[in-house]
Each structure stands twice: as structure tokens, then as C-alpha cells.
Amino acid sequence: MAARIAWVGALGLLLVGAAAAVLWGLGLFPLTAADPDRAERMKKPDEGPPSHAEVATFGGGCFWCTEAVFQQLKGVHSAVPGYTGGDTKNPTYAEICTGTTGHAEVVRVTFDPEVISYAELLEVFWKTHDPTTLNQQGADHGTQYRSVIFYHSRQQKTLAQEYKKELDAKGAFDRPIVTEISPASEFYPAEKYHHDYFARNPRAGYCQVVIVPKLKKFEEAFADKLKPAAKR
């Protein structure tokens, strides 16, 4: 059953891309041109992270989306897609898609706490996905797409728990938050073709239909937290 549910999510991804291609061919879905400012923000820095850098790990559905969000934030040195939270050693994407390994698709964020705080990262995390749907984000179904925070310190755990409780108390969402908050475990970077996926494939069907609309909302809501735009 878990494998069948997981592959429904993968099939949905393919159908979205195929539908976008058909609509584009009919002239009913114009492709959004690559945004030079967004591309500039997603570039990897030439220098390494500062010595006081910290790490945060978030799962908010497909890691292509999550990576494209966190890459653009001031103070974020890197956002690496990968798998964590499961039992299988060195899992592959194919194994993850069965929904039986226990792993979640996540992004491991290396950030400068003097530029952007963990609390600010939490705000971005909760406002850029639906934390009320259990094991699902849109058409993506399966435990690998669960909403989850893997904390790396007692302070991160406390901040995440308190923030979640506050959002529920305020009724920030129509339904209770189901985000899992668990200790960080071994992290396995995803296969290379997943890294910088949106940055390399901005005109792909899934990117156009799913990721671009999400990024536009994110960029508008967090304009003050974005890295500098491209120089002209």
C-alpha cells in the first residue's frame, strides 16, 4: 500500500509536466521566462561558510521546491537536497519513492545566524508549504513528502515546538499543524541531478506549474530577506 501511494505521487509529477507541455503546445500556457534576479540569488557562493555557521534541516514536500526557496535567502550559504529520518542506509531516489524506507525528502540548510536567525528560517518554512496535510503536498503523496523539522540542538527543538504551538493557538491555518519535529539523524545527499534542480530546469513542466507560482508568493512575502538581485 505504501509503495502504491508513493508512486501515485510520482505519477502525479509526471502528469503535471505532461499537461504543461500540452498546454504550452496549444499556446494556452505560456512559459515563464527565466528570472535573472532569481537566478542570481540561487548561485552558489565562491567562498565557504563562516566558521560560526549553523545547520538546519527541513522537509516540506518535494525538495526541488524547498531548495529553490531557501537558496534565495540572505544568510543561507547552501541548501542541499537529500534524505533523512529513515532506516535504509544510503537510500536511492527509487527506494525513497516506494515510501518504505522511512526517509523524508529534505533540504539541509547551512546558514549564518548573524544574518538570518533560525526563527526566521522557521517562518519561511511554515509559510511556504502546507503543514496541515499529513504525508502530502499537493499532488505528491507518501511519507517521504511529510512536513518535518529535524532539529540539530536543544535550542532548535524548543524554538520549533514553541513556534508550532503559537501558530496553532493563533489559528494561523484552517486545520491543526501536523509537522513532525524530530532529532536530526544521518543525512544522505540526493543524487546529483536533484541538486539545483529548479536553477538548472526553470522551464520544465513541473517547475513552471508548481514551483514558479510558489516562488512568486515567497519572493513577494519575504522580499526583505532575499539575497541581492542581479547587477545590471
- CATH number 3.40.50.12160 given to 2-225: no
Q: Which of 62, 65, 97, 207 is catalytic?
A: 62
pLDDT value of residue 73:
98
Cell numbers at 168, concatenated: 496553532
Dihedral pair phi/psi, residue 54, rounded to 5°? -120, 170
Confidence of residue 46 (pLDDT cuts 50, 70, 90): confident
> Which residues fall within 8 angstroms of residue 1, CB to CB, at 6 or more apart?
none
How far apart, in Å, do the first and last CA atoms of the chain sit?
53
Residue scoring higher pLDDT (12 or 84) = 84
Give the residue-averaged pLDDT of 165-190.
Answer: 97
pLDDT value of residue 229:
76
Q: Over pLDDT 70: what percentage of the chain?
A: 84
pLDDT exceeds 50 at position 26? no
- The model's pTM: 0.86
For the chain, domain boundaries: 2-225
pLDDT exceeds 90 at position 33? no
Which residue type, as a one-letter code, is found at position 58?
Answer: F
97: annotated active-site residue:
no
Residues 226, 72 contacting (CB under 8 angstroms): yes
